[in-house]
Amino acid sequence: MGVLEKIAQIQDEMARTQKNKATEYHLGLLKGKLAKLRRELLEPQPGQGSGGGGQGFEIAKAGDARVSLIGFPSVGKSSFLSKVTNTKSEAANYEFTTLTSVGGLLHYNGAEIQIVDLPGIIKAAAQGKGRGRQVIAVGRTSDLILMVLDSTRGDEQRKILENELETMGIRLNKEKPNISLKIKSSGGVKMNSINPPVHLNEKIVSGLLKEYKIHNADVLIKDENVTIDDFIDIINESHVTYIKCLYVYNKIDVTSLEECDRLARQPNTVVMSCEIDLGIEDLKEEIWRQLGLIRLYTKRRGIAPNFNDPMVVRNNSSIQSVCDAIHRDMRNQFKFALVWGSSSKHSPQKCGLTHIVHDEDVVQIVTK
Ligand SMILES: Nc1nc2c(ncn2[C@@H]2O[C@H](COP(=O)(O)OP(=O)(O)OP(=O)(O)O)[C@@H](O)[C@H]2O)c(=O)[nH]1
Ligand SMILES: [Mg+2]
């Protein structure tokens, strides 16, 4: 029996099993089996190279962050790329216009944001239909996914895509579950928790670990609300990615005002029309906000900073990462930094390597 048949068989069994206290353990184990089979499915097959994006599909990372456009065919992904970057990706009114990934740079607030246009994906992409698996593999390498949706199609596309991404081990707008798993060589499975977990117990935890041939481990549950699925994700840690996602409903020029209003009220959602240029600027701003990038103006002693040419770093960056971004040897030459702006207590503040900078701070690095 192939992996796909095995998956179907387990899904059947899960559908047939009533959900109640008595079947909780059995259903939990089935979920664990399912996750393991899906993981097998995602592992590169012999002759397929190293997996990942597939031959000639993945493009090199560029700029300060990567944003991928994922969506069904003909929703307007290429239209968006052409609108916000200098790259032209062919857009047309037939499906599967784009057959490989195309990258472009969006210049915003002094940052270069790489936008990756991808072929449309369809239902059962995770099972290998169309270019789905390669598309999702690129999505996995992004700092943000823009799920581009057709606003005339209601919520149906979104549910299907969420399900495909979920199956491929991508968790959207979700933090990594607060569970620590330490695999050991002896001593059996021990579960500890800060507060008693609501959905997990030692029996299901060791049952699931056994499914993955782990017989000795320390499990610490730090959040009592974590679920069986969360624990399975922790066991499969290297196959699960947590990524931010913005839901972008395009083509609002052909949607009713009521529907447009309803869609726009959902969390993490933006509505736009590439055709009549509506909402594009708001979307750029939202992308910037979601990426959490910050601008720094570096200056030399006695010279004013160039406010037209910021340096872009990640949110919560320390002076140390600023040094590393300037030059790999900078850290060793570092004496102290002078910081002006909202992160400094007084202007300028003399800071060490651990100081966390804020958006639009001015930084002067003083070297030995
Ligand atoms: N009415 C309307 N049509 C649009 C809008 N944006 C794009 N389109 C049209 O939708 C069609 C598909 O656009 P593309 O940008 O090629 O779509 P895609 O998502 O890249 O499609 P694939 O590459 O096939 O996956 C084209 O005919 C566009 O002109 C919009 O905001 N409103
Ligand atoms: Mg396209």
94 touches ligand 1 (CB under 6 Å): no
277 touches ligand 1 (CB under 6 Å): no
What's CA 16's distance to the chain center, in Å?
33
Q: Cα separation of 216 and 184, whole Å?
A: 5
Closest ligand 1 atom, CA of 274? 31
Among the bound ligands, name the one nearest to the CA of residue 80.
1
One digit per residue, the tens of pLDDT, for the chain of length 368 reads 788 889 889 999 999 999 888 898 999 999 999 989 888 876 655 544 444 444 567 788 888 999 999 999 899 999 999 999 988 877 877 777 777 788 899 999 989 999 998 888 776 666 666 677 788 888 889 999 999 999 999 888 999 999 888 888 899 999 999 999 999 999 999 999 999 999 999 999 999 999 999 999 999 999 999 999 999 999 999 889 999 999 999 999 999 999 999 999 999 999 999 999 999 999 999 999 999 999 999 999 889 998 888 999 998 999 999 999 888 889 899 999 999 999 999 989 999 999 999 999 999 999 98
157 touches ligand 1 (CB under 6 Å): no
Instruction: Determine the distance separating the centroid of ligand 2 and the alpha carbon of 216, expressed in angstroms.
Output: 49
273 touches ligand 1 (CB under 6 Å): yes
pLDDT value for 207: 95
pLDDT value for 53: 41
pLDDT value for 28: 93
Q: Could you write out the DSSP letters of every residue in 280-336? A: HHHHHHHHHHHHTEEEEEE--TTS---TTS-EEEETT-BHHHHHHHH-TTHHHHEEE
Instruction: Determine the distance separating the centroid of ligand 1 and the alpha carbon of 103, expressed in angstroms.
Output: 17
Domains of the chain: 65-174+240-291 (3.40.50.300), 178-225 (no CATH), 294-367 (3.10.20.30)
pLDDT value for 43: 67
Contact 246, 269 (CB under 8 A): yes
Contact 152, 252 (CB under 8 A): no
Q: Cα separation of 287 and 267, whole Å?
A: 14
Phi-psi region for residue 364, left (φ > 0), alpha (ψ -120 to 50) or beta? Answer: beta
Contact 171, 271 (CB under 8 A): no
pLDDT value for 349: 95
* Cβ count near 210 (within 10 Å): 13
Instruction: Determine the distance separating the centroid of ligand 1 and the alpha carbon of 273, expressed in angstroms.
Output: 10
